[in-house]
Amino acid sequence: MIKVNLAGERKKSPGRSMSMPKFKFEMPSTFTPILLILIALGFAGGGYWWYHSLNSQSEELTSKIARLEARRVELEAVIKQNQVYETRKKMLENRVKVIEGLQKNQLSPVILLDQLAEAIERTQYVWLASLDQKDSVLSMTGTGTSLSAIADFYTNLYATGYFRSVDLGQSQESGGNYTFSLKCEFAPPRGPAVAAQPSQPAQPAKAGGN
């Protein structure tokens, strides 16, 4: 007997979906060590770059410090030169002032300065710091290494025969030396210069009664 399926093919229910094939992905067993090696190499490269950057900055700062130190030394030399220049300028200004005052009073500035220089040269370890002149009276300040050196300068002024009424003020100790002040009158002799040395040279008085 022949059977005929009149109902046709049986269709699947629309509520049911066709099952998708399942795929399973597995990493190779050698991938994890390689990844770790790459991470380690990345850290090593970053650390090297960071160290190289710090080393470059350190070298740059060292170079800047060396340049600034050299510049400081140059500036110190310039400052010292300026100080010497200012000292010489002040000395020249004082000398010009004395010369102008002597010329005004018809006194020979050349003779005065020569005789004063001679008294200083005869005296060891005495230096003048300032010199002022009013009419024929000279006021000066200076420094000596000892009281005896200052006393010698006092005596040598008289010995020139061009200075009189030498009045030596008090001397003060400063840094192992002695500062002093002195006044005298410039009186050129009319005839040949005669050493008018006082019978008893005054001993400089030390400040404070010492």
Q: What is the pLDDT of residues 27-43, one digit of tens each?
A: 555 656 777 777 877 77
User: Are β-strands 163-168 and 172-174 bridged in parallel, bridged antiparallel, or unpaired?
Assistant: unpaired
Does residue 31 lie in a domain region? no
| pLDDT: which is higher, 199 or 109 | 109
Between CA 158 and CA 189 the distance in angstroms is 12
Distance set, CA 96 to CA 48, 103, 178, 184 (Å):
71, 10, 27, 19
* Tens-place pLDDT, residues 141-192: 999 999 999 999 999 999 999 999 999 988 899 888 999 999 999 988 865 4
Q: Is the pTM of this model over 0.75?
A: no
**Amino acid letter, 106:** Q
118 and 94 assigned to the same domain: no
The burial class, CB within 10 Å (0-12 / 13-18 / 19+), for 180 is: buried
Same structural domain, 157 and 205 = yes
> Does residue 83 sit in the same domain as residue 124?
no
Tell me the average pLDDT of the chain: 76
Candidate ranges 55-64, 98-107, 191-200; pick with highest mean pLDDT: 55-64
